[in-house]
Amino acid sequence: MPIDHKTTEHTDPSFKPLMRSLALELCIYAPLVTIYFIVVLHFAKEPLIQLYEQGSTSYAFVTLFLILMQGVLLEAFTSWLLRRIGLR
């Protein structure tokens, strides 16, 4: 029986579940991150602008602190979420 090469592409057994996982990740994670982003911007925008206008030194260290904290927290949150819903 001839093999249909079009249908045998990407037949790696873990490929389809991976794509499904990624789609689920996007559907769950993207709205959560969007909400987080809106909340953070809402509360942090004015104080950060004031800090920028007042003095450079404190603004510089607050910037570094915020960016590092957000990076670690987002990663920890993503890992926890993916473990909870069984995608990892």
Told to check if 66 binds another protein by CB under 8 A, we report yes
Contacts with another protein: how many residues (CB under 8 A)?
39
**Per the structure block, which two tokens stand in for 51?**
């800090």
Compute the distance between CA of residue 82 and CA of residue 67 in angstroms, rounded to an integer: 22
Residue from 1, 12, 42, 86 touching another protein (CB under 8 A): that is: 12
Q: Cβ of residue 53: shortest distance to another protein, in angstroms?
A: 9
Q: Could you say whether residue 81 binds another protein (CB under 8 A)? A: no
Put residue 86 in one of left, alpha, beta given phi > 0 → left and psi -120 to 50 → alpha.
Answer: left
39 binds another protein (CB under 8 A): no
From residue 15, alpha-carbon distances to 21, 22, 41, 72 in Å are 10, 11, 37, 29
Residue among 34, 14, 32, 35 nearest 82 (CA): 32
Binding site for another protein (CB under 8 A): 12, 14-15, 18, 21-22, 25-26, 29-30, 33-34, 36-37, 40-41, 44-45, 48-49, 52, 56-57, 59-64, 66-68, 70-72, 74-75, 78, 82
